[in-house]
Structure 1
């Protein structure tokens, strides 16, 4: 995601309703979310660059980093998680920060704060581990 701060309420609401949709079909389903946040200080948005883009005509979106990414990570961590079937929330959730300018340069995974660390439940590896554990326990007989 980009346009961090102005999109936070809508993003939170959309994600929070996603697990309700998944569990509304079957409570045994594993609802997982991987949230990718662009932590780049500037980004070429396709909506602002609909013309033929040249170095001189590029319209850059600018984000005050790391503040915008910190606020976004904090808001995403407010999304409900569940510890047992029958309750509300995601069964697993991960957050990945990237540095992506969308200008043809390489995309990099950011490991600097506010990126989750391996001790955080929303670190990518911990999300995968949680999904694996839940799958093994919920669907062991299949």
Structure 2
């Protein structure tokens, strides 16, 4: 019986994915199976890996959906739907903010303007980008809601 050892990347990846999914008992058992070099386990690694990747993807999708709902956006809006041509908004600045660098620097963004200028659309697009691409928790407040709170 030739042992897999800890040098088999596919088996080690299964163990890492289990730990990432907080399945510590299974991760420990997989570690033991890796040490034993069990042929049945080695044969099952590709299937286990595929199943774990599917679970990780599903959890990520559910998490993003939950965070979008928890943010209480008035509607789902992204920058693709914003008409910069008919707006006075500084497109370069908005696109820079959309990259999310201000989040890591803990900077605030304040949007000022009259009704219909795109403040809510842009704020929502920035928040959705933060949730979907930066895995941040976001909460949307209108000025009225914030003052009332």
Q: Using structure 2 for the length normalisation, give the TM-score.
A: 0.27
Larger Rg: 2
Higher-strand-fraction structure: 1
Q: Using structure 1 for the length normalisation, give the TM-score.
A: 0.28
Higher-helix-fraction structure: 2
Structure possessing the higher relative contact order (Cα contacts under 8 Å, 6 or more residues apart)? 1
